[in-house]
């Protein structure tokens, strides 16, 4: 028969079991309550495959969006090529920016929030400024100080780049967001305002404007990706349906009524909004082109037929002949 435990040994075993149970509960509680600080823990620097796919998709979309945005703004041949998309310390970028770059922080509201960065290399900024001021787009000097008008223009240019970033990453949810750029930073003393603890997702692009080339960085704070991933990830914004923006095409949506008597001027037709209904005395209005996308299909004259709103299709020749007779 096995020898029984003495009261002292039994008490020691109970105390040991209680201590082990308490230690396990404390460990589980620590694992549950520990909050991950995105700017201080090394574990936050590891991107999941889903996050890497999102970043790659955003970077590719921004390459196309930047190209067409810059062409329409500067009216000059533009080539955009993605160089890198990565999660890096902001101080590492600041050291590279000190070689010659203009930096602006912009504050979008909504899905992104907080302050984000746009950096433009000095040669690229000078080409853009010269083009915005009506020049040929060739920088005379890359080391001269900027005037007040040039600083204002460059800030507006930075806001446009920030708007592209917000629009691509936020998708449809950010179409109506406003982006405001703050003070333009250019000197090493100003760049030291950034702290060492900040991590940014940076999208670096090589942009060629005409004959000159330079780099542009669009930076997104590290914690923004986590919130965007929870909200469903990137959404590709579809082009707006331009046909529905035309007043005549959208008139069956009767939301409110606009009463008119006699003839209606073209200015009144231009003030029509989606959902307006124009009530006229027969077809006496000035013809207006009916557009479908970019095409002008025909001329139409809105009016009333049998107490119901109607649109009369008018040929251009008859309108011209009637004008000659009058």
pLDDT averaged per 10 residues, the chain (length 326): 59 62 56 38 58 84 90 89 86 84 82 79 91 83 81 91 86 70 78 68 91 90 68 42 38 37 57 59 64 65 62 61 44
User: Where on the phi/psi map is residue 110: left (φ > 0), alpha (ψ -120 to 50), or beta?
Assistant: left
User: Residue 246: inside a domain, yes or no?
Assistant: yes
pLDDT of amino acid 99: 79
CA torsion through residues 220, 226, 229, 230, sign: negative
Domain identity same for 290 and 163: no
Q: Cα separations (Å) of 46 from 51, 122, 230?
A: 10, 32, 17
User: Residue 267: inside a domain, yes or no?
Assistant: yes
User: Residue 126: inside a domain, yes or no?
Assistant: yes
Q: How many structural domains are present in the chain?
A: 2
pLDDT of amino acid 161: 92
Domain identity same for 85 and 191: yes
Domain identity same for 120 and 190: yes
CA–CA dist 213, 68 (Å, integer): 16
CA–CA dist 165, 142 (Å, integer): 26
User: Residue 142: inside a domain, yes or no?
Assistant: yes
Domain identity same for 210 and 291: no
CA–CA dist 254, 275 (Å, integer): 5
Domain identity same for 220 and 79: yes
User: Residue 286: inside a domain, yes or no?
Assistant: yes
Domain identity same for 321 and 210: no
> 204, 230, 256 — which closes off a domain?
230
User: Residue 1: inside a domain, yes or no?
Assistant: no
User: Residue 313: inside a domain, yes or no?
Assistant: yes
User: Residue 37: inside a domain, yes or no?
Assistant: no
> 187, 210, 230 — which closes off a domain?
230
Cα–Cα nearest to 214, from 167, 272, 161:
161
pLDDT of amino acid 129: 92
Helix (H), strand (E) at residue 19:
helix 7-33
Q: Is 2 helix (H, G, I), strand (E, B) or coil?
A: coil
Residue 306 lies in domain: 242-325
């Amino acid at each position: 028969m096995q020898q029984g435990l003495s009261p002292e040994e039994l008490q020691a075993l109970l105390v040991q079991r209680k201590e082990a149970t308490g230690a396990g509960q404390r460990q589980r509680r620590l694992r549950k309550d520990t909050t991950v600080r995105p700017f201080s823990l090394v574990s936050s620097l590891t991107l999941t495959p889903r996050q890497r796919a999102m970043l790659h998709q955003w970077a590719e979309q921004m390459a196309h969006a930047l190209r067409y945005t810059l062409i329409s703004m500067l009216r000059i041949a533009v080539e955009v090529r993605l160089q890198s998309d990565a999660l890096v310390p902001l101080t590492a970028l600041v050291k590279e920016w000190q070689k010659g770059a203009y930096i602006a922080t912009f504050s979008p509201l909504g899905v992104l929030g907080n302050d984000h960065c746009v950096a433009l290399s000095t040669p690229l900024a000078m080409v853009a400024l010269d083009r915005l001021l009506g020049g040929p787009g060739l920088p005379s000097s890359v080391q001269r100080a900027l005037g007040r008008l040039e600083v204002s223009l460059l800030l507006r240019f930075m806001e446009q780049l920030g708007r592209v970033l917000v629009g691509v990453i936020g998708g449809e949810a950010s179409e109506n967001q406003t982006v405001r750029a703050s003070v333009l930073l250019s000197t090493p003393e100003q760049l030291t305002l950034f702290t060492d603890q900040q991590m940014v997702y940076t999208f670096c692009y090589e942009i060629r404007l005409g004959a000159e080339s330079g780099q542009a960085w669009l930076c997104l704070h590290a914690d923004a990706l986590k919130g965007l991933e929870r909200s469903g990830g990137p959404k590709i914004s579809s082009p707006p349906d331009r046909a529905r923006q035309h007043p005549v095409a959208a008139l069956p949506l009767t939301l409110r009524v606009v009463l008119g008597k006699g003839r209606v001027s073209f200015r009144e037709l231009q003030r029509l909004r989606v959902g307006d209904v124009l009530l006229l005395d027969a077809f006496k209005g000035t013809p207006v082109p009916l557009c479908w996308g970019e095409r002008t299909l025909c001329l139409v004259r809105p009016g009333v037929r049998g107490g119901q709103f109607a649109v009369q299709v008018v040929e251009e020749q008859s309108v011209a002949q009637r004008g000659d007779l009058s």
